[in-house]
Amino acid sequence: MEALLQATGFPFHLAHLEQALELPASILRPGPGRSGKPGPSYKEAVEGFIQQQRQEGDRDGGTSPPGPSTQVGDPAAPRLPAPARTQELLRLFEAVETATAREELLQMLRTHLILQTARTKGYAKVMTAESCTRVAIKLLTNLALGRGAFLAVDTGFVDDRHGDVLVVRPMRDYTAKEIAFYNHFFRVPTVIAPPLRTKRREKPSIHRLIERFLLGLQEDYPATISTVYRTGEKLSPAPAKASSESERCLLCLCALDIDGEEELALEPTLIMEEPEENGCCQDPPAAPAESKAAFIPLLCYGCRLTFKELGPLATLPPYVRAEAQRRIRSAETEQQSLEVPQEDEEPGKS
C-alpha cells in the first residue's frame, strides 16, 4: 500500500487501526461547524496543484509521473504499533459476539481514525471510495441493521454529521465493474483488503449475506444494483439531524430515533445479563455509569443492537467509555440543576 501511495506522488498519512484505541473522546462530538461562506481557495488550490504538477512534468521532460518529492508519509510515526496495542485490539474484536457486530465495529473504528487524522492534519473534507455497488449493499445492510432513518447520511453523497469535516463519496456513481475495467485498461495498481475472517461454525455477518444476495441477483437481473442505488437517492438526510448533544447517538452521531413509547416496546429486546454486576455493586461510590445498561439511552436503535453484541465494557475502546461517562455525568448534573429550583421554591411558598 505504502509503495503504491509513494508512486502516486500525493501526500499521504499512514494510520494503524491500533491508533483507534488512543483516540480522544472528542471524536464522538461534532466539531465546530465551518463558517458560512465556502472556502474560496478550493478551486484555486486544485488549479494550483495541477499547475505545479505540469511545471514539474515539464522540468522532467513531460513523461514521468509526479515524483515522490511532495511528501513521504509521516517520518515521525513508528513503523508498527506496539505489540501490546495489537493484543488489545485483538481482544476487542474477539470479545465481540457476532460477525455482524464485528463488521460494524471495524467500520466505526476506521471512520473515527480517518476523522481524527483529517482533524489533526487540517483537512476539511474526506473523500471515501464507495462504489455504486458498495452503496447498494450498504443501503440494504443498514436497513437490516435497523438504521433505516439514517440511510441518506450513511450512503448519500455528503455526510456532514461531524460538523467540521465533511465526508463525501464521489465514486458512488460508478459500479464496481466499471472501476475494475478502468483500473485494468489504464493499469492502475490496486490492493485488495481482505475481509474480516469469520470464526468457524459462526454464521456469516449480515453484511456478507446481503452482499452475496445482491451480487447473485445482479448476475441474473443486471438492473438490481442500480435500482437499489436509485431508491436510496430519494431519501432525505433530515431524520439524522440532531439539535443537541442529548439527542445525538453516542456512536454514530445521528439523531436518536427512539421516542418514549417506542422505547417501551423495545425494552424486552434490550435487557442485558450482567453477571459481573454483583461484584461491582459492593462498593457504592464506584462509577454508576460503568454498566452496559447505562449506555443504552445514549444510543440510537441500530447502535443499541450492535452495542448489545460488542462484548464486555472492559474491552471497549477507551474513548467510547470516556465520552459515555462524560455524557452520563452531564445528564446527571442537568437533572440535579432542574431539581434544585423546585426545592428553593418551597420555603418561599410557606
CB burial class (10 A; 0-12, 13-18, 19+) of residue 123? Answer: middle
Does 255 contact Zn ion by CB under 5 A?
no
Q: Note whether 300 binds Zn ion by CB under 5 A.
A: yes
Give 3-state DSSP helix, strand, coil % of the chain, rounded to 5: 60, 5, 40
- Which residue in the set 149, 252, 310, 324 belongs to the binding site for Zn ion (CB under 5 A)? 252
From the CB of 64, what's the least distance to Zn ion, in Å?
48
Only segment of 195-203, 220-228, 248-256, 318-326 that touches Zn ion (CB under 5 A): 248-256
What mask of x and - would describe binding to Zn ion in positions 43 to 72, judged by CB under 5 A? Answer: ------------------------------
Strands 125-127 and 166-168 come out as parallel
- Grid cell listed for 112: 473515527
Task: Provide the pairing of β-strand 166-168 with 158-159.
Answer: antiparallel
CB-CB contact of 28 with 320 (8 Å): yes
| Nearest distance, CB of residue 50 and Zn ion, angstroms | 40
What is the strand order of the sheet 125-127 is part of?
125-127, 166-168, 158-159
Site for Zn ion contains 105 (CB under 5 A): no
Q: 20 or 251, CB closer to Zn ion?
A: 251
Give the burial class of 134: count Cβ atoms within 10 A of its Cβ; 0-12 exposed, 13-18 middle, 19 or more buried: buried
Indicate whether 28 belongs to the interface with Zn ion (CB under 5 A). Answer: no
Stretch of 18-26, 49-57, 93-101, 298-306 lying at the interface with Zn ion (CB under 5 A): 298-306
CB of 251 to Zn ion, least distance (A): 5
In whole angstroms, the minimum distance from the beta carbon of 89 to Zn ion comes to: 22
Chain centroid to CA 79: how far? 25
CB of 15 to Zn ion, least distance (A): 23
Query: Minimum Å distance from CB 266 to Zn ion?
Result: 14
Is 258 among the residues that bind Zn ion (CB under 5 A)? Answer: no
249 binds Zn ion (CB under 5 A): yes
- CB–CB of 206/144 below 8 Å? yes
Look up cell 500500500; give the residue: 1
Count of residues that interact with Zn ion, criterion CB under 5 A:
5
114 vs 240 by CB, closer to Zn ion: 240
Instruction: Give me the least distance between CB of 312 and Zn ion, in Å please.
Output: 20
Query: Which stretch of DSSP H or E encloses residue 307?
Result: helix 301-308
Question: Is 303 near Zn ion (CB under 5 A)?
Answer: yes
171 versus 258: smaller Cβ distance to Zn ion:
258
CB 167 within 8 Å of CB 126: yes
Is residue 38 classed as helix, strand or coil in its secondary structure?
coil
Q: Which is nearer to Zn ion, 72 or 238 (CB)?
A: 238
Residue 240 interacts with Zn ion (CB under 5 A): yes or no: no
Residue 279 class from Cβ within 10 Å (0-12 exposed, 13-18 middle, 19+ buried)? exposed
Q: Does 165 bind Zn ion (CB under 5 A)?
A: no
Residue 294 C-alpha cell reads as 447505562
What does the binding site for Zn ion look like in residue numbers (CB under 5 A)? 249, 251-252, 300, 303
